[in-house]
Structure 1
């Protein structure tokens, strides 16, 4: 699915700003035990970001790759930039970076996802983060997850995903290993009690 233009006025889909939580029967290795934050959902399809998979790239390495700093600058980066989280957002366009962030930072290219969360995919936010002018809460994701028209609805109907309202706390939490279980707990679900097959307790 094509990403929404920041200048496009759109109605939010019912899954926009929600978490998708993979069921245990998810056979696609890209999505096993994942939590996905949905950014856009409509008749044209859906797109979102895996928020609980680490990416073995540092923010400093990203800045060097984008030629925004040189190696001397990388050594001098402040702590907030050196430890800024980068995650694996999904299997589509994995060489492309996106920043999910709180709405205290907005540029002309920022796309509101919910009342509190925005998405920016341009270098202005990367520069702002490295300079200490970035949003209060943010995470960078490489790649995204996408579905064609009706595909996500079919996967949910086939017991592939659970969905629930998101929380900013869990979205930006850096403890990735336990995020799947904590997302399930938002729905009052014990992971050990989840059925592998639809219709069976």
Structure 2
């Protein structure tokens, strides 16, 4: 479950960064720790009306987790059984956090791999990436075992796959009105009202979803 790809060095590559375009960027000009919000002009069905928590963004590329697209028929207890973490008969004994944990389609890259976005009250040495504002990412099976035992983080979602961008690609998409961005908060990331996340993210930057058109520019 370890994240790999273009963004493997993530937050260690601050030197030489160039600023991202638009408001709400971090102090170094990149969007790690922010929410990315798809504009109506987004014609890629994989990202339509998506809200993405940005886990890494640097001159080497970007990586994020979609937090408002449920994985459909897959639920967390069933996934634990599939991964042989628990027996099927043990599903009824899972702690409440495990029973209620959301499984998301995190993005189109590595869809067979799980990434747990979680509160920073849980940490595994050499496996957990602390991102920003109390949010971390862990992609090893050990965190799933901890959650199943009631010893995991207080808040978490499991994402199958992630969204990734090559160097400069995300900046280009933002310049061409593909995305807006806003500050992250735990409710946007971990909230159970998945269908409302898109509208709530827009409201954080003063926009009602009905105000946007395909010709809209940056807020």
Q: For 2:132, what is the secondary structure of its paired residue?
A: coil
Over the residues paired in the alignment, what is the CA RMSD in angstroms?
2.0
Structure 1: gaps of 5 or more residues:
none
Equivalence for 1:171: 189
Alignment map for 1:31-70 (pairs within 5 Å): 31-55=47-71, 56-70=73-87
Query: What is the deviation of 1:197?
Result: 1.1
Change (3 A) 1:58 1:170: same
Within the alignment, does 1:19 sit opposite 2:23 as a pair?
no
| Contact 1:49/1:145, CA 8 A, preserved across alignment | yes
Instruction: Please name the residue that 1:114 is paired with.
Output: 132
Q: 1:89-113, CA deviations, whole angstroms, 9 ceiling, x for partnerless residues?
A: 0111111001111111111110011
Q: 2:6 aligns with which of 2, 5, 10?
A: 2
How far did residue 199 of structure 1 move?
Answer: 5.2
Tell me, which stretches of 5 or more residues in structure 2 are unaligned? 15-27
Is the 8 Å Cα contact of residues 37 and 50 (structure 1) preserved in structure 2?
Answer: yes
* Distance in 2, Cα, partners of 1:150 & 1:33: 22
Alpha-carbon distance between aligned partners in 1 of 2:189 and 2:204, rounded to the nearest angstrom: 12
Per the normalisation by structure 1, the TM-score is 0.93
What TM-score do the two structures reach when normalised by structure 2?
A: 0.85
For the pair 1:127 / 2:145, whether they are aligned, the reply is: yes
Match of 1:113, SS?
A: strand
In structure 2, the partner of 1:162 is 180
Match 1:104 to one of 96, 121, 133: 121
Other-structure match for 1:28: 44
